[in-house]
């Protein structure tokens, strides 16, 4: 199904789509920190951005998806899957052997999607969200405390 024109890197002169990035990470400060060393990709249709992901090099073999989000009106349409596939292809083309992604212990839909796409749980950063965020985060009536790390060999 054709949903959008392209997934492409954000150009230097384009506005950063913070509204979407903040759906996946409520800290603009942390977003700005990882954007400084990452590439931001956008999914758009008719000039409207409705999906994003941020790809960050970890080392010469590993890349990390630091943020991935789809605007709420477009969720459940397979766009997250397309963004993940694009991230995998982009990382592979850039010579990375492994792709990692982290999400909250309370992020049930994301954990389902990532595992469905072949990512496997490889670690937990205990209390990550308690340490790095000023206010408590809640999702699905569960406090988001720990980052669940998942990886996929490319």
Q: Which residues pair with 144 in a beta bridge?
A: 137
Structure confidence at residue 38 (pLDDT) = 97
Predicted confidence (pLDDT) per residue in 90-112, tens digit: 999 999 999 999 999 999 999 99
Structure confidence at residue 5 (pLDDT) = 59
Q: How far is CA 108 from CA 60, 99, 116, in A?
A: 31, 20, 12
- pLDDT more than 90, % of the chain: 89
- Inform me whether the pLDDT recorded for 9 exceeds 50: yes
Interatomic CA distance for residues 154 and 152, integer angstroms? 6
Structure confidence at residue 47 (pLDDT) = 82
- Inform me whether the pLDDT recorded for 2 exceeds 50: no
Structure confidence at residue 6 (pLDDT) = 84
Predicted confidence (pLDDT) per residue in 42-84, tens digit: 999 888 899 999 999 999 999 999 999 999 999 888 899 999 9
- Inform me whether the pLDDT recorded for 154 exceeds 50: yes
Predicted confidence (pLDDT) per residue in 124-153, tens digit: 999 999 999 999 999 999 999 999 999 999
- Inform me whether the pLDDT recorded for 24 exceeds 90: yes
Residue 79 sits at φ, ψ, to 5 deg, of: -70, -40
Q: Which residues pair with 139 in a beta bridge?
A: 142
Number of neighbouring beta carbons within 10 Å of residue 88: 19
Confidence tier at 11 by pLDDT (50, 70, 90): very high
Interatomic CA distance for residues 128 and 146, integer angstroms? 5
More confidently predicted of 107 and 5: 107
Residue 36 sits at φ, ψ, to 5 deg, of: -65, -25
Task: Supply the DSSP string of 54-103, one letter for each residue.
Answer: EEEE-SSSEEEEEEEEE-GGGTTSSHHHHHHHHHHHHHHHTT-SEEEEEE
Q: Is 82 exposed, middle or buried (0-12, 13-18, 19+ CB in 10 A)?
A: middle
**How many residues in the chain?**
154
Q: CB–CB of 130/112 below 8 Å? A: no
């Amino acid at each position: 199904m054709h949903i959008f024109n392209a997934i492409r890197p954000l150009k230097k002169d384009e506005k950063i789509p913070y509204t979407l990035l903040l759906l996946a990470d409520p800290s603009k400060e942390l977003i700005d920190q990882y954007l400084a060393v990452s590439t931001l990709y956008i999914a758009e249709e008719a000039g409207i951005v409705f999906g994003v992901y941020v790809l960050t090099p970890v080392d010469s073999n590993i890349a990390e998806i630091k943020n991935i989000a789809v605007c709420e009106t477009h969720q459940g349409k397979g766009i997250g899957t397309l963004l993940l596939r694009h991230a995998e292809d982009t990382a592979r083309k850039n010579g990375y052997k492994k792709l990692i992604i982290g999400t909250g212990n309370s992020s049930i839909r994301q954990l389902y999607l990532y595992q469905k796409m072949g990512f496997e749980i490889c670690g937990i950063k205990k209390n990550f969200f308690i340490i790095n965020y000023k206010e408590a985060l809640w999702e699905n009536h569960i406090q988001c405390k720990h980052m669940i790390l998942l990886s996929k060999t490319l």
